[in-house]
Amino acid sequence: MRTIPANAVKSLLLVLALIAGPSYAAAVGQIANLSGTLSVKRPDGTTKLLAVKSEVQPGDTLATEEGTYARVKFIDGGEVVLRPGTQVKVDAFSFNEAKPAEDNQVISLFKGGLRAITGLLGHRNKEKVSYVTATATIGIRGTNLGAELDGDGGLHVDVSDGAVSVTNSGGTLQVNTGQFAFVKSGDSPPTLIINGQKVTIPQNIGGGIGKDKGSSCTL
């Protein structure tokens, strides 16, 4: 039997790879509303601008420019709305309606603010959903929540429905419907505050969030 040289095998594999083209992760959501410039950095380092109906994939880092609001609708029915000057990463998103044991959602907030509402994943596996910042991690209890980082890295949290747990090295605090919390730094204990900062959503990207379209404001 004739032996094919190793360099010929490598060349053949390279040609097949080029013919097949690049492989992409399955989309876990899409941009539903957009009021300005939104960019994405993919796990492979490539960057591009997104538009309404653009796909969102696991590992994507999304960034909104000044004046931009963007709504992401995930495949489980959950939503996240990004405020201007916000940067988030979809660290993990795994959802198969027939396989609840594989559920997983982790979103990191690096700067700016967001409003989120739980989808089916979070309703059936609350402990599998978290929003991570350098200051604290937010766990959900079936929720409509807002999270925003200020210029000093302090984390503001508000809850319109359900409850969240806010955890860092300083301790854990449960924040219930209608309550506000603030975390000054990564080692400061989370505290409840009165008349705190609420993350709001303008009407020009669909207004509100979830079925009741709550937590909205008009520009």
**What CATH number corresponds to the domain at position 85?**
2.60.120.1440
Contact indicator for 209, 217 with CB cutoff of 8 Å: no
How do residues 123-138 score in pLDDT, each as one tens digit? 999 999 999 999 999 9
Q: What is the pLDDT of residue 22?
A: 44
Torsion 142-143-148-152 (CA) sign: negative
- Is there a domain that residue 15 lies in? no
**102 part of a folded domain:** yes
134 lies in a domain? yes
Q: How far apart are CA 98 and CA 46, in angstroms?
A: 33
| SS3 of the chain: helix, strand, coil, percent, to 5 | 15, 45, 45
- Does residue 212 lie in a domain region? no
In a domain, 4, yes or no: no
Q: Which domain holds residue 119?
A: 27-199
Residue 78 lies inside a defined structural domain of this protein: yes
Predicted TM-score (pTM) of this structure: 0.84
pLDDT per residue of the chain (219 residues) written in tens, 0 to 9: 455 555 544 454 444 434 444 445 699 999 999 999 999 999 999 999 999 999 999 999 999 999 999 999 999 999 999 999 999 999 999 999 999 999 999 999 999 999 999 999 999 999 999 999 999 999 998 789 999 999 999 999 999 999 999 999 999 999 999 999 999 999 999 999 998 989 988 877 666 676 555 444 322
Are 34 and 70 in contact, with CB atoms under 8 Å apart? yes
Residue 202 contacts residue 218 (beta carbons within 8 Å): yes
pLDDT at position 130 is 97
Exposure string for 184-208, b = 16+ CB within 10 A, e = fewer: beeebebeeeeeebbbbbbeebbeb
Confirm if 173 and 189 have CB atoms less than 8 A apart: yes
Please report where in the chains the tokens 């207004």 appear, as a residue: 207
Residue 7 maps to a domain = no
How many domains, in total, are found in the chain?
1
Please, what's the b/e burial string for 109-142 (b: 16 or more CB within 10 A of its CB; e: otherwise)? bebbbbbbbbbbbbbebbebbbbbbebbbbbbbe
In a domain, 218, yes or no: no
